[in-house]
Amino acid sequence: MCHKLSRIERLDWAAQATVTARFFSWCGAFLIWYPFLRMWVWKGSYRWEYAPGVPEAWTWTAIACVAIVPTVMLWLRHRYAILAISLADFLVGTSLALLKWPNYNTPFDWVGYKAFSLLWICFGLIFFKRGIRIAAVYTSGWEVERYQVKQWLLVLQRNGKNDNVVEIRGGTFLRGPCSYRILNAHTCWVMATFRTGKEDELPIDYRVREPGAITLLEERDGPAKAFVDGRVINNIQNYGKT
């Protein structure tokens, strides 16, 4: 039996889809076309390990179709585009595994090429999981959730004094300086992570959490830190400044 999503879980899925659909679209297009172009450029350096009698042109036609179909779906903004990318990644990873490179000089070369194939299959798994959520959010019946998270995002981007929003400045090594804006929506917490100075753009991360998932530790001048699912976010006002 499938797990029935709670209201907050549905809102969380909608919030994540709002900011991840574009990222996964651009990243997905790259992951499809990069190995295809690389195989085409170096096609004189390997041979296919497939059944005898299958024309090589058929193989390239199949791979080209695998790349073109999801790309067209992305252009049309089809809700199943991310899922199509995941299937394309599985097929690309399988195609890479069927390449026989004659210039295997060491066992490490063989491991490297097979690892490249496995990596694309892993990408397919990631896109498959994310694609299911995006496809679900953009189906009929999710209009209320999509509208609500868009309205909350406008409030977080504006961050007015009367919006019941707190901001914590911090960051990580990978993300750099970030602005964490947290809205108390009474029945849940709404949290968006922006790149510092780009708070009016789409956030890096956007989540809707249960009432007990976030705890704010406030001081006289405002919140000093936040506890998000056990993770501490410190308020470092001069983060990234010289």
| Higher-pLDDT residue of 116, 27 | 27
CA distance 112 to 126: 21
> Rounded distance, CA 44 to CA 89, Å?
23
The pLDDT, as a whole number, for residue 103 is: 58
Buried/exposed 114-135: b ≥16 CB within 10 Å, e otherwise: eeebeebbebbeebbebbebbb
Q: How high is the pLDDT of residue 49?
A: 60
Q: Is residue 242 part of a domain?
A: no
**Same domain as 85, residue 13:** yes
Tokens of 182: 């947290």
What is the rounded average pLDDT for all residues in the chain? 81
Do the domain assignments include residue 42? Answer: yes
Is residue 144 situated within a structural domain?
no
pLDDT digits (tens, 9 = 90+) for 71-117: 999 888 899 999 999 998 988 888 777 766 555 556 666 676 778 88
Q: Is residue 113 part of a domain?
A: yes
Residue 126: HSE in the Cβ half-sphere, 13 Å Cα cutoff? 14
Please check whether residues 88 and 177 belong to one and the same domain: no
What is the spatial distance between Cα 153 and Cα 170, in angstroms, rounded to a whole number?
Answer: 20
Compare 97 and 140 and report the one with higher pLDDT: 140
* Confidence at 44, pLDDT banded by 50, 70, 90: low
Q: pLDDT (tens digit, 9 = 90+) per residue, 149-176?
A: 999 999 999 876 666 888 888 766 667 7
Total number of domains constituting the chain: 2
Task: Please tell me the predicted confidence (pLDDT) of residue 146.
Answer: 95
- Give the predicted TM-score (pTM) of the model: 0.77
63-67, 111-115, 125-129, 210-214: range with lowest mean pLDDT: 111-115
Confidence of residue 191 (pLDDT cuts 50, 70, 90): very high
pLDDT at 238: 41
Alpha-carbon distance of 18 to 177, in angstroms, equals 22
Helix (H, G, I), strand (E, B) or coil at 194: strand
Q: Mean of the pLDDT values across residues 166-195?
A: 85
Q: What average pLDDT does range 1-24 have in this prediction?
A: 87
Q: Which domain holds residue 15?
A: 7-137
Domain boundary among 94, 112, 137: 137
Same domain, 11 and 113: yes
Specify whether 29 is located in the same domain as 108: yes
Is 167 found in the same domain as 123?
A: no
- Cα within 13 Å of Cα(99), Cβ side: 31
Residue whose structure tokens are 């090594």: 173
| C-alpha–C-alpha distance, residues 238 and 170, integer Å | 8
The reply to whether 145 falls in a domain is no
Q: Are residues 207 and 102 in the same domain?
A: no
The CA-based angle 176-180-185, given to 5 degrees, is: 160
The predicted pLDDT at position 52 comes to 54
* DSSP class of 229: T
User: Does 13 share its domain with 106?
Assistant: yes
